[in-house]
Chain A
Amino acid sequence: MNDSYKDIWELRQPGRRDSQRHRERIKKAIKENLRELIAEENIISSDGKRKVKVPVRYLDMWRFKFGQNRKGKGVGHGDGDPGDIIAKDVKRGKGKGKAGDQPGEEIYEEEVELAEIVEMMLEDLGLPWLENKENQVEIETEEMVFHDIAEKGLPPNVDLKRTLIENLKRNSLAGKPSFGKIVPDDLRYRVWENVIEKHSNAAVVLIMDRSGSMTDDKKYIVKSFFFWMVSFLRLKYSNVEVVFIAHDTEAREVEEENFFAIADGGGTRISSGLELAKTIIEARFPMSIWNNYVFSFSDGENWDTDNERCITLFRELLGMCQAVGYGEVEYSDQFYKWAGWRGTWSTLHDAIEEAGDLMSEERFLSASIVKREDVYNCLRQFLDVNGKERP
């Protein structure tokens, strides 16, 4: 048996290159389908996993093939009589989950790093009006740049061309000017260095309405918004502080895990959340050191008497934050759908408009979300940094 070419085979790894290309194609496909993916339950509910499964309907190898109605049967082996049930399978109904276009159709799934999706989705975004503050703890973003060749390194970083040149050199010195068995001395590796970008430090307060009027659909929308927001912040800023506040009529600070496990009820007092945010920022994140952000989400079904208080608090928060965002998940229940209305703004929103000064303040961000796909636009609106460098 011949193992003298083993090393040469080892260096020729077309699978890696094509696997790389395959990943690129997946990325492209994902990019073209971001709007749908952003509401993909598989991903949102992947709590804490680094890799998520993405259904890749659009990256199949197309060919003529038989459909569900293929005639014919399988062949198996073992005991039993005709008529005996030997296996069970559950086909999910159309309303549940994302089934294929055709009943029982297999969907090809790809594992993708969550970070990759977040990056594609929000690569040109950031926290707006980020400032250099005094006494700051710096936030690093890491990037790798290959810039040199070394004799020691990791196997995946072998530089093929340089290795072969070394091999040729060594053989030539030995009097045989040709390629031959690769020995460890021949191997050359590419080495990299981390490029460190410096950012200012930031604290982000996320407030979610968990009152009774928040239906499952609405909660899902808010949940997916915050999911992507948090994933994005964690990816882009390695040293960002995120605070989670949940409220109905009372507000409390919660852990991240509990934040997304939604189970509250009762009336709504949006001011309670804003109040707590203010207290937390005053106590922990003085403006001289921190870039502060508050993002609050609700369906706007607030107690009318509370609206005035909210507006005051928004004004106060703007005084201590780089930006304050208020997102509203609009009414979209059956009646309005039936009536053909796209939705309507809440009393709180009307009150904000009446107050006037908030609407003209560009650091006060407001957005409305009607359907799941809007989450994407809303994220882009809140995290748009164009022309918002330093006020």
Chain B
Amino acid sequence: MRDNRIADLEQLAKDNGLDFFPVVFEVVSANTMNNVCAYGLPTRARHWSYGRSYDHQRIYGEMGFSKVYEMITNNDPSYAFVLDSNTEAQNLLIVAHCFGHSDFFKNNAAFHGSDRNMARHAAEHANRIDQYIEQHGLDAVERIMDIAFGLDDHIDIHKGLYRKKYPKRHIEEHLVRVGEFDDLLDPRKAKGPSRIREVVNATMPPHPEKDLLWFFIHYAPLEDWERDILDIVREESFYFHPQRLTKIMNEGWAVYWHAELLHQYKDITPEEMIDFARTHEKVVQPGNPFDINPYYLGYRIYKDIEKRWDEKHAAGESDITGRQKIFEVRRDEDDISFLRNYLTIDLVQELKLFTFGREDEEGKDEDEDEDEEILYEIKSRMREEVVEALVRPRYNNWAPKIVITDASSEKICLRHDSGELGTLNFRYAEHMLEYIWELWAAPVELRVKDDDGQDIVLLFDEAGFSKRLLEEEFGFADDDDEKEEKEP
């Protein structure tokens, strides 16, 4: 593609108010593209799981199921990888699309504080991991990486990437005032004002902790290199978190802008325009009936917001135009608030959205030996239901919320805190407890509810995995530890 066309589009994007990092376009082969996509960041540390995604990318690509035209990194400058077999018109689309993404990276609130130098940092991470592999062997390093990746959904985005350790356990003294008649109830108080001693941060952790990786990095009995690997994975998880939080918005924004910029762009031949339109059509097809294409959904919502605010503006109900409004939305929202605030009743109807689920809600098996036919039916076309169904899985970084409630050198206790979203897969939980057992070097307990709503404790220790019913709690709630435990 001619460089002057890139410059033209760049100027056009800026004239429209887009504010992006410099974008470096790298033309690469399909093979390189598969590599880049499998790793998410082209410079990232090695891990066998990327090999798996690479194989999938490659096979799907060869079979023609999916083709990745471009991939752009959130970085300053933004690196955009472009497929060498793209047509000129496809490249025009991609260039405009990438300016949209880069603008989103730079301005959306979820991306504030994200590492704009990640391309380089990831390469440093990779170097360090290569060193550890040399020192400790591939198997040992992979094991820690497996554990770290198993936990990398569990970060606390609000507490941030860099956090202070908990304040030390300490004792505070308060002066207690004595009222005029207090000695009637307690003769000891007749002596006058007394001091009361209070233990602060007596428990560990002081509050239920959801940043599991952070907790283990700072408090688990690990070697420095193991700590560093957890840290690397945590950093990269923080880096990717905003992208998982804004998939619909980010793609919708980029689609909106490639459509808009190419519409305004004059230096384009009719043949290129047709080719462009064809590619655009592919990008915004609604997707299969049971899964909605985020590019399409995001794009339609932005278009709808723009239209509605233009109308309001024209009617004098709004100070800002549609265009100004979508710039605000792109700055302030993430997917959850975007859907809640802007997926309107009208739009749900226009896009013919519905929720679906199993016909027999619970799907409990009476006879497990028989083949069972599962029927799926449309559940609802209500706006609230649709929004809720879209939003729910996005809570808590797309994962169940697990918190550490109590930790000592004897054992560590965790709790599943998002029971309202569903119960855990116990087979997976079993492996996760083993991971945590390896990190903490002491028995691990996880409190969960099973499918029947009963409180269950999953346990992992030297003897392996077991589970038992949680006993009725009598007495004080804090005394969890004192209670006798029954063997399952």
Residues of A within 8 A of B (CB): 1-3, 5-6, 9-10, 12-25, 60-96, 101-105
Contact = CB atoms under 8 A, between A and B. Distances in A.
11 contacts: A13-B35, A18-B49, A60-B431, A75-B292, A80-B354, A84-B378, A87-B376, A93-B370, A95-B369, A102-B426, A105-B425
Given A2-B25, A19-B54, A82-B354, A67 B423 contact: yes
Given A21-B48, A89-B373, A93-B368, 7 more contacts: A10-B32, A65-B424, A66-B400, A70-B421, A76-B353, A78-B354, A82-B381
Contact of B378 (A60, A61, A70, A80): A80
B356 A76 contact: yes
B29 A6 contact: yes
A68 B432 CA distance: 18
B290 interface: yes
Given A64-B428, A85-B375, A74 B27 contact: no
Contact of A83 (B352, B377, B389): B377
Contacts of B354: 75-78, 80, 82
A64 B399 contact: yes
Interface in B331-359: 351-357, 359
Contacts of A64: 150, 153-154, 399-400, 402, 416, 424, 428-429, 432
A1 B25 contact: yes
A1 B10 CA distance: 13
A14 B153 contact: no
A230 to B, nearest CB: 29
Contact of A77 (B352, B377, B393, B432): B352
Contact of A91 (B24, B39, B374): B374
A13 B39 CA distance: 11
B296 to A, nearest CB: 9
A103 B372 CA distance: 11
A-B pairs, 6 with minimum CB distance: A18-B51, A15-B54, A70-B422, A22-B51, A19-B51, A3-B27
A15 B402 contact: no
Nearest to B80: A1
B440 interface: no
A63 B431 CA distance: 8
A79 B352 contact: yes
B27 A2 contact: yes
A6 B27 contact: yes
Nearest to B2: A1
Given A64-B429, A65-B424, A94 B368 contact: yes
A62 to B, nearest CB: 4
Classify chain B's interface size: 35 or more
A201 to B, nearest CB: 39
Contacts of B381: 81-82
Contacts, number: 250
B283 interface: no
Contacts of B420: 71
Contact of A85 (B28, B376, B402): B376
A63 B428 contact: yes
Interface in B367-391: 367-381, 385-386, 388-390
A101 B289 CA distance: 29
Contacts of B389: 72-75
A94 B26 contact: no
A344 B392 CA distance: 59
Contacts of B390: 75
B198 interface: no
A1 B378 contact: no
Contact of B39 (A14, A71, A103): A14
A5 B374 contact: no
Nearest to B367: A93
B397 to A, nearest CB: 11
Contacts of B55: 19, 22
B286 interface: yes
Nearest to A62: B431
Contacts of B54: 15-16, 18-19
B480 interface: no
Interface string B413-440: 0001000111111111101100100000
Contacts of B26: 1-3, 5-6, 9
A96 B428 contact: no
B48 A25 contact: yes
Contacts of B271: none
Interface in B115-152: 138, 146, 149-151
B422 A72 contact: yes
A348 B42 CA distance: 67
A61 B416 CA distance: 20
A6 B289 CA distance: 39
Which of A3, A6, A18, A93 counts the most chain B CB atoms within 10 A?
Answer: A18
Contacts of B432: 62-64
B189 interface: no
A61 B400 contact: no
B108 interface: no
Given A15-B34, A74-B357, A87-B376, A62 B150 contact: yes
Contact of A89 (B34, B291, B376, B393): B376
Nearest to A96: B371
B95 to A, nearest CB: 8
A86 B399 contact: no
Nearest to B46: A18
Contacts of A16: 54
Contact of A84 (B34, B35, B292, B377): B377
